Amino acid sequence: MSTRIQRDKEKKQQEEFQAILRRLLLEEDNKYCADCDAKGPRWASWNIGVFLCIRCAGIHRNLGVHISKVKSVNLDTWTEKQTLSIESLGNRSCRRVYEADLPSSFRRPQTDSYPFAELGTVS
């Protein structure tokens, strides 16, 4: 059973992690989903190091936790390791790595294009 002092310490730590995440979301490249450029991402894949919109976060979750570990920026509890991971990476750094060899003709998928358009339809 945790003591009041431990709970207070954990709460303070979570507030610090939330402050770091809020600061990171103010960076220009992190203001948009790393995958589709939707404005105002509120999710993150902490092991990959990117901020995501809710739709792309769902796609990442479907990839499996062995590939992408997704958390809500606001709703989930973050650990120091997770916070440091996302802080050390971010959308800009990850795009430099993961998108380094994309052809100049590449166009980022938009939220109203496949596969996103089919998320709300019933067959």
Under a CB-based contact definition with an 8 Å cutoff, are residues 74 and 25 in contact? no
pLDDT digits (tens, 9 = 90+) for 54-105: 999 999 999 999 999 999 999 999 999 999 999 999 999 988 888 888 888 8
Those residues with Cβ within 8 angstroms of residue 109's Cβ, 6 or more apart along the chain or in another chain: 35, 36, 115, 116
Under a CB-based contact definition with an 8 Å cutoff, are residues 108 and 36 in contact? yes
Lowest mean pLDDT among 28-37, 70-79, 109-118: 109-118
Residue 97: both structure tokens together:
């790595």
Which pLDDT score is estimated for 98?
Answer: 85
Residue 65: both structure tokens together:
């936790």
Q: What confidence tier does 120 reach under pLDDT thresholds 50, 70, 90?
A: very low
Distance CA 79, CA 96 (A): 26
Domains with residue ranges and CATH for the chain: 4-99+108-118 (1.10.220.150)
Cα torsion through 92, 63, 123, 116, rounded to 10: 0
Under a CB-based contact definition with an 8 Å cutoff, are residues 90 and 44 in contact? no
Distance CA 23, CA 16 (A): 11
